[in-house]
Amino acid sequence: MHKTDDVVLSIKDLSKQFGNGCDYCKDDSAELQKNMCPHCNTVHAVKNVSFDLYEGEILGVVGESGSGKSTLMKMLYFDQEASTGTYVLPEDPNAEDNVFLVSSQRKRQIRNEQLGMVYQNPMLGLKMDFSSVTNIAEKLIASGNRNVGQMTDRADHFLNKVNIPLRRKYEAPKNFSGGMQQRVQIAKALSNYPPILLLDEVTTGLDLSVQADVLELIKEIQRDMGVSMIVVSHDLAIIRMLCDRTMVMLDGQVIEHGITDQILEDPQHEYTQQLVYSIL
C-alpha cells in the first residue's frame, strides 16, 4: 500500500462553477440537471473533488463528455482558476498550504518546474507555426534554462524518445499528423523533467495503431523516469491499460474511485457498471 508521505499532489474539495450560482445551488444537496442549476443556469463543472496522487503512479480519470475532466486538469495546471478548494504539492521544496492562493508569478514557477501538461487539443499545447525544437526550448526557457546547446540537446533527446525523426525537428507541428503532434506535446511536457505529468485525452482521435504507440510510450516514460501522472480519458479501455488507480467522474463529481482492477471487477455505481460492461 501507499504511504501518505509518498503523496506528490493532494486535492481537497475542489470545485469550479461557470456562473454566479444562486441560493438554490449553493446547497450541496441541490438537484441539478446534469451539472447545471435549473434556476440560474450556472454550470457546476467540477464539484467537491478530492484525491491524492502518489509518487510514480498513474492515476486515471474516466467519465463521459462534459463530466468535468478537462476543467479539473486545467485547474491543476493553473489555466483555469478554481472556485473553491485546496491544492498541495508536498514534494515541492517551497510547499505552500494551498497553491491556489499563491501569486501568479509563483503559480507560473510551479507550472514550469513541477508540472508538464499534454492538452486534449494540441493547439493549446503547441505553437503550430514554430518548430518542435522551438516549442521545447520555450518550455525550457520558462523553467530558467538559458544554455542554447543544452536546450537543443534536450530537445533532441526527447524528440528521439517520442520517435519524432530528428531530421524533422525544425519543421512546424502544423505539418505533422495528430499522433505526431501529441508526441511533440509529450516531449515538450517532459523536457524539464517535471515530477508530475498531466495528460488529457492524449490518444483521442488517433488511429488504433498510433494510439497503441502513444500508450506504450506513456508506460515506458512512467517505468523509466518514475514520473507521477494523471491520465484523463473517456475510454475505460485506455484507463485499464495504463492506470493503477482510477476515479470515475459524472456531472462534475467523483462517483467512484479505487484500484483500477477492483473497479473493473466489481463496479459499484450504476454508471460505472455501464462503462465496464461496454468494454467487456
Ligand X SMILES: Nc1ncnc2c1ncn2[C@@H]1O[C@H](COP(=O)(O)OP(=O)(O)OP(=O)(O)O)[C@@H](O)[C@H]1O
70 touches Mg ion by CB under 5 A = yes
String of DSSP letters for 109-141: HHHHHHEEEE-SSHHHHS-TTS-HHHHHHHHHH
Looking at beta carbons only, is 38 or 144 nearer to ligand X?
38
Q: Is 25 in the site for Zn ion (CB under 5 A)?
A: yes
Least separation in angstroms between residue 225's CB and ligand X is 26
Q: CB 45 → Zn ion: shortest distance, Å?
A: 14
Give me the sign of the Cα torsion angle 86, 74, 254, 228. Answer: negative
In sequence order, the 6+-apart residues with CB closer than 8 A to the CB of 43 are: 17, 18, 19, 35, 36, 37
Task: Report if residue 71 touches Mg ion, rule: CB under 5 A.
Answer: no
End-to-end CA distance of the chain: 28
Q: Footprint of Mg ion on residues 102-121 (CB under 5 A)?
A: 120
Tell me if residue 270 falls in helix, strand or coil.
helix
- DSSP letters for 219-259: HHHHHHH--EEEEEES-HHHHHHH-SEEEEEETTEEEEEEE
Residues 157-176 that bind Zn ion (CB under 5 A): none
Smaller CB separation from ligand X, 73 or 164: 73
The answer to the question of residue 22 lying near Zn ion (CB under 5 A) is yes
Shorter beta-carbon distance to Zn ion: residue 5 or 31: 31
- Judged by the rule CB under 6 A, the positions of this chain that interact with ligand X are 18, 35, 43, 45, 63, 65-71, 120, 234
Span near Zn ion by CB under 5 A; candidates 8-16, 20-28, 46-54, 219-227: 20-28
Q: Does 18 bind Zn ion (CB under 5 A)?
A: no
Residue ranges of alpha helices (H) inside the chain are 23-26, 69-76, 104-114, 122-125, 132-142, 148-161, 178-190, 208-225, 236-242, 260-265, 270-279
134 binds, among Zn ion, ligand X, Mg ion, none (CB under 5 to 8 A by kind): none
43 touches Zn ion (CB under 5 A) = no
22 binds, among Mg ion, ligand X, Zn ion, none (CB under 5 to 8 A by kind): Zn ion
> Which residue ranges make up the site for Zn ion (CB under 5 A)?
22, 24-25, 37, 39-40, 42
